[in-house]
Amino acid sequence: MTPSTYLYGGQVHANGIRQHYLRYGGTADNRASRAAVILIPGITSPAVTWGFVAEHLGRQFDTYVLDVRGRGLSASGPGLDYGLDAQAADVTAFAQALGLERYTLVGHSMGGRIAVRAASKQPQGLASLVIVDPPVSGPGRRAYPANLAWYVDSIRQATHGMTAEDMKAFCPTWTEAQRQLRAQWLHTCHEPAIVQSFEDFGRDDIHADLPRITVPLLLMTAEKGGVVGDDDVAEWQGLAPQTQHVRVPGAGHMIPWDNEAGFYAAFGDFLGARVD
C-alpha cells in the first residue's frame, strides 16, 4: 500500500484573517526542485474535500489545500469581506506568510476565478497557473449554469444535520464516501459567503484580468456541464495567448470526482513532472 502523503493541517494569520490549510508531500526533494502547489477549491468545497487530489499531487509536489474564507476552518461569520479581491489577496498573503518562493495556483471553479484575480496582480513567486472549469460569467455575459437554491438548501440541511443518504438528493452520482464527507463538512460553509460568491460570478469580470497574467497558464475544462464552451476557450486564449487548453472526457464540472485519472492526465508535464 502506498504510504499517505498527508503531513498536517495548519493555521496561519495572513491578510488579516486566520487561514486554515492542509499540507501534503513537502519532501526536501520536492521543495528544492519544483514549485509548490496551492489548491484553491470551489464555492462549497472545504479543503478536506479535496484531500484525495492533494494526496495524489503530494507524491510529486509540496501541496497545500486552502479553506477559502467562509469555508471549513478558516475565518468565517459576519463582518468579513467575501469579495473576490479579498479572496485573491488571501492567497498571495498565504504564500508569503509560509515563505513559498515559487508556487503554482490550481483553482477549481470559484477557486479558478480567485487564482485569476490573484495572478493578475503579478505576485512575486507565482510560477504558473492551472484554472479548472471556471465560471466564465460576468457583466453582460451568460449566467453560470447552476442554481443558487441548490447550494443554500443543501447548506441549511447540513447545518440542521444530514447523512450521506440525505446528500444523495443533491449529489446523486457521488460515491457514499464522497457524500459522507460532504455531509460532514458542508455546514462549515457560511451561507452569506456562498451567496455573495455565487452572485459575484455575474458581477466580477475576470476576463479583464487575463491580459495582465504573464505566467504559463493551463485551462482545464469539463466535457459535460456547459460551464466553459469552445467559444469561451477561444476568447480566453485570445486574451491570454500563453493558455494551453485540455478538455477532460466524460467529466462534469466536478472533474476529479467524475474522471479522476483524466484529471491527473490533463496536467501532462505542465507542473514540471507528470502527476498521472
Q: Pick from 118, 7, 57, 20: which is nearest to 267 by CA?
A: 57
- 261: Cα separation from own chain's centroid: 18
- pLDDT over 70 percentage in the chain: 97
Exposed/middle/buried for residue 9 (C-beta within 10 Å: 0-12, 13-18, 19+): middle
Sign of the CA dihedral running 30, 213, 64, 252? negative
| Residue range 99-103: mean pLDDT, rounded | 96
Q: What is the pLDDT of residues 170-179, one digit of tens each?
A: 999 999 999 9
Q: For position 32, what pLDDT does the model report?
A: 65
Q: For position 31, what pLDDT does the model report?
A: 61
Q: What is the pLDDT of residues 129-154, one digit of tens each?
A: 999 999 999 999 999 999 999 999 99
Q: What does the block give as the cell for 166?
A: 440525505
pLDDT at 215 over 80: yes
Q: Pick from 43, 1, 57, 50: which is nearest to 21 by CA?
A: 50
| Residue range 124-130: mean pLDDT, rounded | 98
Task: For residue 31, count other CB atoms closer than 10 A to its CB.
Answer: 16
Q: What is the pLDDT of residues 260-276, one digit of tens each?
A: 999 999 999 999 988 87
Q: For position 73, what pLDDT does the model report?
A: 98
pLDDT at 67 over 80: yes
Length reported for the chain: 276
pTM over 0.85: yes
For residue 29, name the pLDDT band (cuts at 50, 70, 90): low
Q: Pick from 138, 129, 93: which is nearest to 111 by CA?
A: 129
Within 8 A by CB and 6+ apart from 266, the residues are 218, 220, 246, 248
- pLDDT over 90 percentage in the chain: 94
Complete domains list, the chain, with CATH: 6-144+186-267 (3.40.50.1820)
